[in-house]
Amino acid sequence: MQQIKKVVIAGGGTAGWLAAAALSKQLGPLVEISLVESDAIGTVGVGEATIPTILSFHQLLGISEAEFIRATQATFKLGIAFENWGDLGDRYIHSFGQVGKATWMGEFHHFWLRAKELGFGGGLGDYCYELQAAEQGKFATSEKSSINYAYHLDATRYAGFLRRQSEARGVKRVEGKITTVQQHPESGFITALTLDSGRQVEGDLFIDCTGFSGMLIEQTLGVGYEDWTHWLPTNSALAVQTESSAPAKPYTRAIAHEAGWRWQIPLQHRVGNGMVFCDHYQNAEQARSELLKSIDGRPLTEPRLIRYKTGRRHRVWEKNCIALGLSSGFLEPLESTSIHLIMIGLTRLMQMFPFSGISVPVLHRFNEQAREEMEKIRDFIILHYKATQREDTPFWKFCREMEVPDSLAQRIALFEESALVHRNADELFRVDSWVQVMLGQRIEPRAYHHMGRLMGKEQLRQALSSLKNSISTAIEKLPRHQDFIDRYCKADAPEVCR
């Protein structure tokens, strides 16, 4: 029960500097914080798309939105456009907005399903403000605005931005490569990190942000890894940056290909592109060739290959070590959840911080919450692969026919039978998210709640028409996404930003 006074963060990047920024802002006077990183070790650095939870976390850190956007060359994001997922030629948007208006009895899509049965109502996306704004390339926000959005950002610049904030609050950065991890001979607790210079960095609590290697949590403490590749079979990604060739769209593109999918993330001065694939069905050279043929704009970098194994550590808090980011596990970036998982882990840590020493019940509760969070997000991502009509390649045949976790199978069956979707209080993805993806991936419910029948046909038609028209009127008043960025938070030229 040694009191925690010194926190040592092993590794920089997004995870390390988010940890430094959050702890120094919220707990700064109570603990001494050091971060160890080496300039010689690169970071994965492709986590460039986020979800709306980043806004509240930035408020927690006291970050100015305009300053952050200029520093990271960020753009705004209203959702993700999924192309060729349900079947070749399909396209839908999973937006961040509310779809229609729900009642205490049920969600809006039950009204829409009734209208569809009667032969009117249009598409479900017609009733979502954020989705329609995304489709038309429009965006604006203000203190009075209720629009739901996130960001596309440059992950490397984001880490630099957070570093400046952290060091201004007293975080000490230690340059050096970690060579060994010292442990107490009896308890096994980590006591210090030894650097290649011979320097030792001692601490009471260690946060592992060393990436896939998990130098502390896995190589030293050996917690083990739960492999999920039988549900999420992709294991490789290629990332390349290109010049912008068109105004930035306010959404991410996720375009399915023969053995996975590729991303397109527009920033202010460039576009982030990547190819996610399973090397059992497509080798790296084939993926590289397909990626380079598919990109728009001149490449600014050589494609960089990243190998990974989808899954999670059996425990993310072991003894006096907590794993964050890639060291805690990996879910492919299909729904842009990697930065969120870092932030929710830090939020949980700050709420349960072991000032008086490591408590086993607290440790167990932390690990249980982390496991549940990861598994719920895992199921949502598996849904995109399982719910497909594609049989044009061996990869998609495998995905369509694979067994899925019981927790997901039950959700799919519930929606297929009755169009019902549930969400637990601590679950990340909302009912609207599940509905948009399930319908977008061609899951057609056999029945629905009959609350729509309580309205006459014309009354229902008028209600839906009124809602659709009010959204259209609001969208007309919005500026173009690129125009809003140029006026509100345009970044300096890349050379100046460096």
**Pairwise CA distance, residues 391 & 96, whole Å:** 30
More confident residue, 422 or 415: 415
pLDDT of residue 40: 81
Q: Are strands 6-10 and 205-208 parallel, antiparallel or unpaired?
A: parallel
pLDDT for 497 equals 33
The domain segmentation of the chain, as residue ranges, is 6-48+154-229+310-358, 99-144+378-476, 236-307
| Residue 104: Cβ-neighbour burial (10 angstroms; 0-12, 13-18, 19+) | exposed
Residue 299's Cβ-count burial label (10 Å; 0-12, 13-18, 19+) is middle
Lowest mean pLDDT among 13-22, 230-239, 425-434: 425-434
Inform me whether the pLDDT recorded for 130 exceeds 60: yes
Residue 406's pLDDT band (cuts 50, 70, 90) = very high
In sequence order, the β-bridge partners of residue 192 are 182, 202
Mean of all residue pLDDT scores within the chain: 95
Per-residue pLDDT tens over the stretch 293-330: 999 999 999 999 999 999 999 999 999 999 999 999 99
Which residues does residue 272 pair with via DSSP β-bridges, in sequence order?
Answer: 241, 265
Q: Which of 43-52, 59-68, 451-460 has the weakest average pLDDT?
A: 43-52
Topology (CATH) of 6-48+154-229+310-358: FAD/NAD(P)-binding domain (3.50.50)
> Is the distance from CB of 383 to CB of 408 less than 8 angstroms?
yes
Please identify which residue in the block is written with the tokens 């988010």. Answer: 18
Q: What is the pTM of this model?
A: 0.95
* Distance (Å, whole) CA 75 – CA 249: 8
pLDDT at res. 44: 66
Average pLDDT (328-353) is: 97
Question: How many Å separate Cα 250 from the centre of its chain?
Answer: 16
Instruction: Spell out a b/e string for 305-332, using b for 16 or more CB atoms within 10 Å of the CB, else e.
Output: eeebebbbbbbbbbbbbbbbbbbbbbbb
Residue 381 has pLDDT above 80, yes or no: yes
Percent of the chain predicted with pLDDT > 70: 98
- How many CB atoms neighbour CB 352 within 10 A? 14
Cβ neighbours of 91 (radius 10 Å)? 13
What gap in Å lies between CA 48 and CA 346, rounded to an integer?
A: 19
Residue 458 has pLDDT above 70, yes or no: yes
- Nearest-angstrom CA–CA distance, 173 and 12: 9
What is the mean predicted confidence (pLDDT) over 7-32? 97
Among 44, 54, 248, smallest CA distance to 162 is for: 54
Q: Are 252 and 74 in contact (CB under 8 A)?
A: no
Which is it for the CA torsion 167, 171, 173, 178, positive or negative?
Answer: negative
Give the pLDDT of residue 2. Answer: 82
Quote the distance between the C-alpha of residue 400 and its chain's center: 24
pLDDT(27) > 90: yes
pLDDT band at 1 (very low <50, low <70, confident <90, very high): low
> Is 77 marked active-site?
yes
pLDDT-wise least confident of 115-124, 140-149, 356-365, 468-477: 140-149
97-125, pLDDT tens digit by residue? 999 999 999 999 999 999 999 999 999 99
pLDDT value, residue 221:
98
Position 148 pLDDT exceeds 50: yes
For 166, the token pair is 């952290």
Is pLDDT of 89 > 50? yes
d(CA 49, CA 249): 13
Give per-residue pLDDT as tens, 206-236. 999 999 999 999 999 999 999 999 999 999 9
Q: So what's the pLDDT on residue 45?
A: 64
Q: What is the 3-state secondary structure (H, E, C) of the chain?
A: CCCCCEEEEECCHHHHHHHHHHHHHHHCCCCEEEEEECCCCCCCCCCCECCCHHHHHHHHHCCCHHHHHHHHCCEEECEEEEECCCCCCCEEEEECCCCCCCCCCCCHHHHHHHHHHHCCCCCHHHHCHHHHHHHCCECCCCCCCCCCCEEECCHHHHHHHHHHHHHHCCCEEEECCEEEEEECCCCCCEEEEEECCCCEEECCEEEECCHHHCCCCCCCCCCCEEECCCCCCCCEEEEEEEECCCCCCCCEEEEEECCEEEEEEECCCEEEEEEEECCCCCCHHHHHHHHHHHCCCCECCCCEEEECCCEEECCCEECCEEECHHHHEECCHHHCCHHHHHHHHHHHHHHCCCCCCCCHHHHHHHHHHHHHHHHHHHHHHHHHHHCCCCCCCHHHHHHHHCCCCHHHHHHHHHHHHHCCCCCCCCCCCCHHHHHHHHHHCCCCCCCCCHHHHHCCHHHHHHHHHHHHHHHHHHHHCCCEHHHHHHHHCCCCCHHHHC
Which entry of 5, 6, 77, 177 is annotated as an active-site residue? 77
**pLDDT recorded at residue 424:** 85
Q: Is pLDDT of 38 > 80?
A: yes
pLDDT at 495: 43
Is the per-residue pLDDT at 496 higher than 60? no
**8 Å CB contact between 291 and 308:** no
Planar angle of CA 198, 156, 290, nearest 5 degrees:
115
**Residue 424 identity (one-letter amino acid):** N
Nearest-angstrom CA–CA distance, 272 and 176: 29
Asked whether the predicted pLDDT for residue 16 surpasses 50, the reply is yes
Average pLDDT score over residue span 69-85: 97
- Report the alpha-carbon distance of residue 364 to residue 314 in Å, rounded: 12
